[in-house]
Structure 1
Amino acid sequence: MAVIELHDAYIMQEVNTVLQKVSFRLEKGEFAYLVGRTGSGKSSLLKTLYADLPLGGGTGTVADVPLQRLSRSQVPQLRRKLGIIFQDFQLLFDRSVADNLLFVLNATGWTGKARKKQRISEVLMRVGLANVAGKMPHQLSGGEQQRVVIARALLNEPLLLLADEPTGNLDPDVADSIMRLFVEINHAGTAVLMATHNYPLLRQYPQRILQCKDGHLLDSATANLELSGR
């Protein structure tokens, strides 16, 4: 079963086409990197997959939701099936870690105080942060904040994690521990599509690579890629 399937898709940034005739499938439980120079279309592709940008042409489905006929009211339904991880964390700094996670559970329709508390406890334990629920984000290191972001992305047991440069602001040792966490999550059955510039990680944790280059998406499964920085 494919969690992402695009066919002849056009990825747009406002009125500009950044990627054209994009066709690829990501299967359930698969892991792929998304690479390319700054401005090559990586973030625009991810934003199209979670419906922050409209599909410019062609067809696409993400978690069985068709992108080309997606109304604004259907976007929350799609995002409940996804975990989205940003480079800049986007945590709410006026509330505790637990309340950051509670905000998402409330926004995605969870009910029952005990059930929500249990789920928050589960995801924090999953990312190795069982004791930080009562802390404020500013009391955590960058690596710990990124683990909270990953915990937040796991709350609704997503089919697919979309990660945009999740190690971009972290030092190498912390980036490696975050990467090991992604590998664990993937081995437990969640598909991962990760945009990254971190070529040492690609060597250390080899997976399929999708490369944005010259307006097209190249796939290591079907082509030999020339990757600068490797």
Structure 2
Amino acid sequence: MQETQAVLQDVTFSLEKGEFAYLVGRTGAGKSSLLKTLYADLPLGGGTGTVAGYGLARLRTSEVPYLRRKLGIVFQDFQLLSDRTVAENLLFVLGATGWKGKVRKQQRVQEVLMRVGLSQVTNRLPHRLSGGEQQRVVIARALLNEPLLLLADEPTGNLDPEVADGIMQLFREINYAGTTVLMATHNFQLIKDYPHRVLTCRDGQLLDSNPAVSS
């Protein structure tokens, strides 16, 4: 039987409330695996970890949905339901996370779409939107439950530079409003233009540009 080896080992870091950090590294270095561990899509291989008040080491399957309600997750490939309008995509998530009341849910959908500058696309299907607009819908979806932590996996990877810059401005606004952001990216121009703490996956380790924070 082949022994599996962890992509990252001896990882130690913490993010403070309201902090913004980038997660960088070559393809296969462990960025996505680290994010998936934080939202409990992959098990914690050892040690301890706490996300939004939930201990990852002893997290029960039944607790995973409650952890994820405190997180916003933004994927590069959008993962929108293609046969449902923008509003229906967002209403589906609200229903799945326990929201009650038709009017209340519709109001919340309008609030998050307005926040990302898309209040006019409510009744459009995803394929009728540009890539940048689809990514803004994904960010709106991630904001529905007012997350403590926003995890973004290459959110500008498929977007041209001007659109990527607009998405980055949106992340900054969300961060300024008090949400902690951890963003995996290959876009070093964004890091240069919007400098923040950088966590680097390299050779099985996580290197921190601000080591005093992680100790």
**Pairing partner for 1:166 from 138, 152, 155:** 155
Alignment of structure 1 residues 75-94 onto 2, 5 Å: 75-94=64-83
Determine the C-alpha separation between the residues in 2 that align with 1:124 and 1:204: 26
Give the aligned partner of residue 45 of structure 1.
Answer: 34
1:72 to 48, 61, 64: 61
Counterpart secondary structure, 2:81: coil
Question: Is structure 2 residue 112 aligned with structure 1 residue 131?
Answer: no
* Match among 87, 96, 119 for residue 98 of structure 1: 87
> Helix, strand or coil: the match of 1:163?
strand
Name 1:221's counterpart in structure 2.
210
Return the alpha-carbon distance in structure 2 between the equivalents of residues 16 and 90 of structure 1: 29
Q: Hey, what's the Cα distance between the residues in 1 that align with 2:9 and 2:211?
A: 17
* Residue 69 (structure 1) shift: 0.3
Higher relative contact order (CA 8 A, sep 6+): 2
Which residue of 202, 205, 223 maps to 2:191? 202
SS state of the match for residue 162, structure 1? strand
Q: TM-score, normalised by structure 2?
A: 0.96
Displacement after TM superposition at 1:71 (Å): 1.1
C-alpha displacement of 1:15: 3.0
The one-letter amino acid of 1:36's match is: G
Q: Name the structure where strand makes up a greater proportion of residues.
A: 1
Which residue of the other structure, out of 38, 48, 51, is the alignment partner of 1:59? 48
Would you say 1:19 and 2:4 are equivalent positions? no
**How big is the shift at 1:148?**
0.0
Out of 148, 166, 169, the residue aligned to residue 177 of structure 1 is: 166
Q: Secondary structure at the match of 2:189?
A: helix
The match for 2:140 is: 151
Unaligned 5+ segments in structure 1 are: 1-13, 224-230
Q: Distance in 2 between matches of 1:188 and 1:17?
A: 35
1:122 aligns with 2:111: yes
TM-score (normalizing by structure 1): 0.90
Report how many aligned residue pairs link the two structures: 210
Matched with 1:189 is 178
The amino acid of 1:131's aligned partner reads Q
1:16, 1:196 → 2: CA distance?
A: 24
Counterpart CA distance in 2 for 1:29 and 1:159 is 9
Structure 1 letter corresponding to 2:78: F
Aligned counterparts of 2:133 and 2:60: Cα–Cα separation in 1: 36
Identify the residue that residue 130 of structure 2 maps to in structure 1.
141
1:55 alignment partner, SS class: coil
2:202 is aligned with what amino acid?
A: K
More helix per residue: 2
Can you give the 5+ residue segments of structure 2 that lack an aligned partner in the other structure? Answer: none
How far apart, CA to CA, are the structure 1 residues paired with 2:61 and 2:122? 33
Quick one: distance in 1 between partners of 2:5 and 2:99?
A: 39
CA distance in 2, matches of 1:32, 1:15: 29
Give every structure 1 segment of 4 or more consecutive aligned residues whose post-TM-superposition deviation is greater than 3 Å: none
Is 1:113 equivalent to 2:102 in the alignment? yes
Distance in 1 of aligned mates of 2:153 and 2:202: 17
SS of the residue corresponding to residue 88 of structure 1 reads coil
Task: Provide the residue aligned with 1:227 in structure 2.
Answer: none
Letter matched to residue 90 of structure 1: Q
